[in-house]
Structure 1
Amino acid sequence: MEVRVQEIIDHLTAHVKLQDNTVDQLISGSMVQLVSGVVVAFMPTQQVIERAVQQGANLIIAHEPPFYNHHSHTDWLTEDPVYQTKRNLIDEAGIAIYRCHDTIHQVQPDGITEGLVQALGWTSFLEQRKSEADILSFDSGMTVRQIAEHIKHTLQIEYVRVAGNLEMTCQRAAVLVGFRGNGNLTIPLLHNERLNLIIAGEGFEWETPEYIRDAVQQGRQQALIMIGHAESESSGMKLLAMKLDQAYPELPVTFVGEQPVYNVL
């Protein structure tokens, strides 16, 4: 059975209503293009695109854009050699890239948060799903150190960043993926949901971390674990790849991960 890019995009967006200013779009390729294979990734890096070419896949579904800005603008990059090399590879290989950002966050439950909570084995701890976070209740309690080590081991990442007392016992936590770790989201959650711990992808360093610093200095039992943007969202895209593989058994669908962008020295 022949499958075109448009059909897969329609499948992805069937149960959401995207706003006019959505960043979800076909960044390269054509809607009528026949799909030979699908690569799903958090970020369509140079290596991910090369892997797609090697596998004979001509559709990449990525959570983030290929060209280093949220709205996929490229007018400021036209003379840049890194952009030119990547753009040429995409065009010469006939790769269609679809950005699936707003869609996967708008499905119920949020597909990215669901993927992370499942990957961490914490579904049984889930108490409440909110639009921006999952609220978890650790009945027996775990220390911040134990939670941080579990995240590192399960996601196979080298490090996380922690603010607060590592030996504090945590009963209630919120999981916020991606760039949701800023104070306007985390601080009300800490208060309204009576949380000990925020687990987030990333956020401004002078907001939530500084709030946690003040809270600890006031004697409050609160902490923060920042695990990284890609590290918090890749599991959701891996879950999406599994769902697409089930929906399109006639197509090879592969999740392609990347190494963390930073080295720790």
Structure 2
Amino acid sequence: MNPLTTVQTVIDALTANITAARPEPTVDKLLIGDPNAPVSGIVTTFMPTLSIARQAASLGANLVIGHEGLFFSHHERLDGSSEGEIERIKRQQLEALEVAIFRLHDGIHRYSPDGITEGLVAKLGWSDHVREYRPEACLLDIPSAPLRDIAEEIKTRLGLACLRISGRPETVFSRVALLAGYRGGGTLTIPLLESKDADLVIYGEGPEWETPEYVREAARIGRQCGLIVLGHAESEDPGMERLAESLSGLFPHIPVRHLREEASLRIL
């Protein structure tokens, strides 16, 4: 017989892999639910929306592990302000589902290597092309291909309707810097391009007046330089999918699934 697995048991397993200190205060916490409740099923997801929680409940899962928060901000309210209407209704409906929700953000980014980045690398089929994992980026040497072809392959592998690029579509690249999530700011990406650690940067999102403008000017000047922008959720969802695979190995007696929410922004 398997020992009783509680919500806290799963949380402890998730936090055991953390190899670096989390920010203080960390955003990783049980947002909804009882830590002592027995776990009947686990769902991982990037964004723990009401829809995802309802799907989890319908599947018999009572623990959702999300990467981002519930209430439209990176940090929970710390100033004592009152709940907004949508926040209040969402909280009430989540509590009625009796599904616990744990946020794993800071911790999984401090796995070695970063669990979100590693999941993205695997989803892209590039695990054998890794040159170096750094805390903020993965450096890769992929087979040489035009920017246009690399972008199309990424769209296929990640199941994306679209992505955005900067640089000449016909330019051939092989040295890649991959940065998941909100790591597309110039302070992280431009040094990688200047040092020639990479000539193609791929990231989730970042300020549009920094890296995209650098790449545009560099390409016009004649420097071989490219950028692919995936979207924040699109770059981090594969890491949470990979987490589900890991949890299946740790808790083989518990059904574990990954659920992907539809894109919050659509193209007209």
- Normalising by the smaller structure, the TM-score range is over 0.9
Superposed structure 1 runs of 4+ greater than 3 Å apart:
74-77
Query: What is the rounded CA distance, in whole Å, between the counterparts of 2:243 and 2:219 in structure 1?
Result: 38
The corresponding residue for 1:159 is 162
For 1:130, the equivalent position in structure 2 comes to: 134
Cα distance per residue 1:176-206 (max 9 Å; x no partner) = 0000011010001112244211000000111
**Aligned 1:1-265 pairs, distance under 5 A:** 1-16=3-18, 17-73=21-77, 76=81, 78-80=83-85, 82-138=86-142, 140-265=143-268
Offset of residue 77 of structure 1 = 6.1
Report the Cα distance in structure 1 between the residues aligned to 2:11 and 2:250, rounded to whole angstroms. 12
Distance apart, 1:72 and its partner CA: 2.5
Partner-residue secondary structure (3-state), 1:27:
strand
Structure 1: 5+ residue stretches without partners: none
Letter in 1 for 2:212: P
**Count of aligned positions:** 263
Tell me the C-alpha RMSD between the 2 structures. 1.4
Quote the Cα distance in structure 2 between the aligned partners of 1:124 and 1:56.
37
Cα distance, 1:52 vs. partner?
Answer: 1.2
Question: Cα deviation per residue 1:186-231 (whole Å; 9 max; x = unaligned)?
Answer: 0011122442110000001111101111111211110110000000
Q: Which residue identity does 1:6 align to in structure 2? A: Q
Q: State the SS of the aligned residue for 1:91.
A: helix
The CA deviation at 1:125 is: 1.4
**Distance apart, 1:85 and its partner CA:** 2.6
For the residues of structure 2 that align with 1:167 and 1:128, how far apart are their CA atoms?
26
Cα offset, 1:76, TM superposition: 5.0
Q: Is the 8 A contact 2:54 2:97 kept in 1?
A: no
Change (3 A) 1:51 1:108: same
- Please give the alpha-carbon distance, in whole angstroms, between the structure 2 residues aligned to 1:193 and 1:10: 40
Query: Normalising by the residue count of structure 2, what TM-score does the alignment of the two structures yield?
Result: 0.94
**What is the DSSP-based 3-state SS (H/G/I as helix, E as strand, rest coil) of the residue aligned with 1:102?**
coil
Q: Deviations over 1:15-74 (max 9, x none)?
A: 324343211111111221221211110000121011011112111100001111001228
Alpha-carbon distance in structure 1 between the residues aligned to 2:189 and 2:222: 19
Q: Quick one: distance in 1 between partners of 2:255 and 2:17?
A: 24
Letter in 2 for 1:106: R
The residue type equivalent to 2:159 in the other structure is Q
What are structure 2's unaligned runs of at least 5 residues?
none
Identity %: 43
Q: Is the CA contact 2:50–2:94 (under 8 Å) kept in the aligned structure 1?
A: no
Change (3 A) 1:220 1:193: closer
